[in-house]
Amino acid sequence: MRFQELLAYQKSIELSMQIFEVSKSFPREEIYSLADQIRRSSRSVSAAIAEAYRKRDYPRHFASKLTDGDAENSETQVWLEYAFRCSYLPEVEYQRLVGESEEVGKLINYMILNPGKFGVKKRE
């Protein structure tokens, strides 16, 4: 299996692309702050998942990379909340994106709790 086939990876890529699209409408003064931050954190989630999958020969590294991805996913939710509170996102869009982010978080946590299903071997 390639990391691109992982559901967590696919969902995280889709979410980051949706965030990229909505962040295009943020005010010009947010280009190098909020827009940049939310784009970076959302993109880091899929990168961490890919790195974790490549580290599956090392159980602790696998879990560590996934927890990094989960942390980036949480950071993305913070930036989404700022975007909502600054009135850059309507509530419906905010709730939808946070819901998708929560789904990505659940998928990452599933991977952390079930490493054997992703080719991670137990070390003795």
Angstrom distance (rounded) from CA 115 to CA 110? 8
Residue 98's pLDDT is 98
Q: In Å, how far are 22, 80, 87 from 50, measured between CA atoms?
A: 24, 23, 33
pLDDT of 124 reads 47
Chain centre distance of CA 119: 21
Name all contacts of 51-57 with Cβ < 8 Å and 24+ positions apart. Answer: 52/111, 53/3, 53/6, 53/9, 53/118, 54/3, 56/115, 56/118, 56/119, 56/120, 56/121, 57/120, 57/121
The CA distances from residue 124 to 52, 56, 57, 120, in Å, are 20, 15, 13, 13
Can you give the pLDDT at residue 121?
Answer: 83
What pLDDT tens digit does each residue of the chain (124 aa) get? Answer: 899 999 999 999 999 999 999 999 999 999 999 999 999 999 999 999 999 999 999 999 999 999 999 999 999 999 999 999 999 999 999 999 999 999 999 999 999 999 999 999 876 4
| Domains identified in the chain and CATH numbers | 3-114 (1.20.1440.60)
The upper half-sphere exposure of residue 88, i.e. CA atoms within 13 Å in the direction of its Cβ, equals 21
Question: Tell me, what's the pLDDT at 1?
Answer: 83
Q: Answer whether 0.85 is exceeded by the pTM.
A: yes
| Whole-angstrom distance, CA of residue 105 vs CA of residue 25 | 26
Number of H helices, E strands in the chain: 4, 0
